[in-house]
Chain A
Amino acid sequence: QVQLQESGPGLVKPSQTLSLTCTVSGGSIRTTSYYWSWIRQSAGKGLEWIGRIYGSGNADYSPSLKSRVTISVDTSKNHFSLNVSSVTAADAAVYYCARSWNGHYYYMDVWGKGTTVTVSS
Chain B
Amino acid sequence: EIVLTQSPVTLSLSPGERATLSCRASQSVSSTYLAWYQQKPGQAPRLLLYGASNRATGFPDRFSGSGSGTDFTLTISRLEPEDFAVYYCQLFGSSLFTFGPGTTVDFK
Contacts and interface: CB of A to CB of B under 8 A. Distances in A.
Interface stretch (B18-26, B48-56, B72-80): B48-56
Interface string B25-44: 00000001101010100011
A109 B56 contact: yes
A41 to B, nearest CB: 9
Contacts of A52: 97
A109 B47 contact: yes
With most chain A CB atoms within 10 A of its CB, the pick from B44, B54, B90, B100 is B44
B32 A105 contact: yes
Contacts of A89: none
Interface residues of B, number: 26
Contact of B100 (A46, A105, A109): A46
A106 B98 contact: no
A47 B89 CA distance: 10
Interface stretch (A9-17, A67-75, A111-119): A111-119
Contacts of A37: 97
B43 to A, nearest CB: 8
B100 A106 contact: no
Interface size class on chain A is: 20 to 34
A114 B97 contact: no
Interface in A65-121: 96, 100-101, 104-109, 111-114
Nearest to A101: B50
Contact of A106 (B33, B43, B54, B101): B33
Interface of A: 37, 39, 46-49, 52, 60-63, 96, 100-101, 104-109, 111-114
11 contacts: A39-B45, A39-B99, A46-B102, A47-B88, A47-B90, A47-B99, A61-B96, A105-B32, A105-B50, A106-B32, A113-B43
Given A47-B39, A48-B99, 12 more contacts: A39-B45, A46-B100, A46-B102, A47-B102, A101-B50, A104-B32, A105-B33, A105-B35, A105-B54, A106-B35, A107-B90, A108-B35
